[in-house]
Amino acid sequence: TARRIQIAKRIEEGINTVQSSVAEYPQAIAMILEQFDQFEAEEIRLSDIISGFVNPDEDDVGPSATHIGSELSDDDLDDEDDMDDDDEDDDSDSEDEGSKGPDPEEARERFGQLRAVYENSLKLIELKGRDHPESVAALFHIGEIFKEFRLVPKQFDRLVKSMRSMMDKVRVQERLILKLCVEQAKMPKKNFVKLFTGNETDISWFNAEMNSGKPYAEGLKMVEEDVLRCRAKLEAIEAETGLSIASIKDINRRMSIGEAK
């Protein structure tokens, strides 16, 4: 029915939004390329990674991950692997129906293209920084290529969970810094939010407030060591992900928009 097609298209749009957002997270692309290397080494099947590719010229809504970031535990994911193994014999019976999944040759071409653009973007980011127009264009290009990959739900979940766990780590440190500055040092929350937002790993605002002579300046001096420790952890997250804290938050926000569709 028209309503079912409309719902399917909304799901598809949501998935595309999430997938394009996740594509800006370098580790997500690295994880998918690593999975493809496992397929090439005959350790897993191609259908364990993708169910096919989207043709951008076609207006159809094909089978794809129909949920976003499900609450599958690691044990559930392992069980799914076992079920896949049990189904292997069934696949061979219905080979004519295309249940073997995508064409390996097309997959090699597509994954090769993704790898080339991904590696190019890493070089650009290292040379010119993430916010340079060339880097931004390269990341956008990755997103455009990657959203044509129809990931199986299990892979989709893993990417989303990986990104979510990074965001959780960021939130833990941010809450600690808020608690130290606002609850312990008695800095007005409004001031803290204004100065901290966008400067999560830039400590110059903290030093300026600490030396400002304001009523809470002495309190900030008392918590300085703890704040610096939290800031170091945020810097470690930036180094691990290749993303600024602001970028992690932005990607997470856009993922949430996609999930809400």
The residue-averaged pLDDT of 164-170 equals 94
Residue 212 is predicted with a pLDDT of: 95
88 has pLDDT over 60: no
Q: What is the CA radius of gyration of the chain?
A: 22
C-alpha closest to that of 153 among 80, 96, 205, 202: 80
pLDDT score for 116: 96
Question: Distances from the Cα of 207 to the Cαs of 188, 201, 245, in angstroms?
Answer: 16, 12, 20
DSSP 105-172: HHHHHHHHHHHHHHHHHHHHHHHH-TTSHHHHHHHHHHHHHHTTEEE-HHHHHHHHHHHHHHHHHHHH
Domain ranges of the chain: 2-164, 168-239
- The pLDDT of residue 228 is 97
In this predicted model, which residue has the larger pLDDT, 114 or 75? 114
Residue 120 has pLDDT above 50, yes or no: yes
- The verdict on pTM exceeding 0.75 is no
| pLDDT band at residue 241 using 50, 70 and 90 as cut-offs | confident
Does 239 score more than 70 pLDDT? yes
Q: Which residue has the higher pLDDT, 58 or 136?
A: 136
Q: Which residue has the higher pLDDT, 144 or 20?
A: 144
Q: What is the mean pLDDT of the chain?
A: 83
CATH code assigned to 2-164: 1.10.601.10
Amino acid 147: pLDDT: 83
